[in-house]
């Protein structure tokens, strides 16, 4: 199991973190998605890398073992990272941005509850966002396709905007 005081890292740092191209790309993504630090980006990058590695192993496996790809593909479809008619080859094209788009912070921003990703992060951490009636305070929570429609904001500013939109509509 391991020592509970020393949890395993869920991310890997880039091999050359001070490379100009890598620095520019990580800074761009960190700023665009309103991430707190590079570790959040590295965690999503490791998640994408994990599924690409699984796809490579399944493509190289014998035909009988390729049936193991179906649960992986279904999981990523449920998460909203892959489309309806995704194949094993589509797993090789996974990017960090696809996983960053499924974070609660990003979806709250895209739905219009917040004007910026930083404001969305604040709404989530302060407990103003509910998913399926449950308050979720982790901005990095990966939202499934079913849960996406049930996201609601309980902040007074969000409620006022919703009331104004009903009056106009």
SS3 of 15, please? coil
Are 143 and 107 in contact by the 8 Å Cβ rule? The answer is: yes
Average pLDDT over residues 61-76: 88
Mean per-residue pLDDT over the chain, rounded: 91
Using the Cα atoms of residue 60, residue 68, residue 11 and residue 84 in order, give the sign of their dihedral: positive
| pLDDT over threshold 70, residue 169 | no
Q: What is the pTM of this model?
A: 0.89
The residue ranking higher by pLDDT, 158 or 90, is 90
Mean pLDDT over residues 119-126, rounded?
95
Overall average pLDDT of the 85-101 stretch = 92
Work out the percent of the chain whose per-residue pLDDT is above 90. 72
Look at residue 156 and tell me whether its pLDDT is greater than 90.
no
Q: What is residue 164's predicted lDDT score, i.e. its pLDDT?
A: 72
Distance CA(82)–CA(132), nearest Å, equals 22
Residue 62 neighbours by CB distance under 10 Å: 6
CB 113 within 8 A of CB 153: yes
Give kind and range of the element (H or E) at residue 162. helix 156-168
Helix spans in 17-132 (H): 20-32, 38-60, 69-79, 88-91, 96-100, 104-111, 117-125
Query: DSSP class of residue 37?
Result: S
């Amino acid at each position: 199991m391991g020592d509970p005081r020393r949890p395993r890292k869920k991310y890997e740092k880039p091999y050359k973190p001070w490379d100009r191209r890598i620095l520019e790309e990580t800074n761009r993504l960190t700023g665009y998605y309103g991430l707190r630090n590079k570790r959040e980006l590295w965690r999503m990058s490791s998640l994408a890398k994990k599924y690409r590695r699984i796809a490579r192993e399944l493509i190289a496996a014998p035909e009988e073992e390729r049936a193991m790809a179906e649960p992986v593909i279904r999981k990523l479809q449920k998460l909203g990272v892959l489309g309806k008619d995704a194949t094993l080859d589509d797993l090789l094209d996974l990017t960090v941005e696809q996983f960053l788009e499924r974070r609660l912070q990003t979806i709250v921003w895209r739905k219009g509850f917040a004007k910026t990703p930083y404001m969305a992060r604040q709404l989530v951490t302060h407990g103003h966002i509910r998913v399926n009636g449950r308050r979720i305070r982790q901005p990095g929570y990966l939202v499934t396709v079913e849960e996406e429609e049930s996201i609601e904001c309980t902040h007074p500013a969000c409620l006022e905007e919703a009331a104004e939109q009903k009056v106009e509509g």
